[in-house]
Amino acid sequence: MFFSKGKVVNSTKQEGRVYIFRFTLEDGTLVWKVGMTNSDRATDRMFEVLRSFFNTYRYSPKCELKRDKKVLIPGLVEKHLHRLLEDWSHKFNKPFGGSTEFFHNLDEAVLLDYLDNFEYKDLLKDQVTIKETDYALIKNAINTQVPQPSLELDEIPF
């Protein structure tokens, strides 16, 4: 890890964080930002987006960090999530930093559950958006992901 312009940046290019922010706009509308960062803290990105939003709209919406998940290939995971959510894309009247990655009318519980239980093999479903060079990265991520052990009913420890 090293510092660059006041940010903590992960030294390995492959690792990063995928985050979900929930914004409550001035009129009460809920929108979610799904994105990625190579910083070790998604909150750094949250404050960058809020600053950019404020500079454009002159107010700060309520913003909550709903998920911040460390992943191996954040760019591909982010692209996958955006493809799944493209029908719910939210467009702002004026662009600001990060304004193209917002979504509306989502079931937050489903979105959070999907990210919590995300498996790298799901990236292979995006054959249209995946470059041939990305397959090696995905294969490595699949091999790195440790499967969660399942308990048999007679193994419950209580």
Which residue segment(s) compose the domain that 92 sits in?
A: 2-145
Cβ atoms < 10 Å from Cβ of 28: 6
Does any domain span residue 138?
yes
Does any domain span residue 49?
yes
Does any domain span residue 66?
yes
Rounded Cα–Cα distance for residues 48 and 126 (Å): 29
Q: How does pLDDT run across 26-66, given as a tens digit for each residue?
A: 999 999 999 999 988 999 999 999 999 999 999 999 999 99
This prediction's pTM: 0.80
Does any domain span residue 78?
yes
Does any domain span residue 151?
no
Does any domain span residue 156?
no
Does any domain span residue 158?
no
**Overall number of domains in the chain:** 1
Does any domain span residue 124?
yes
Single-letter amino acid code for the residue at 149: P
pLDDT value at residue 125: 81
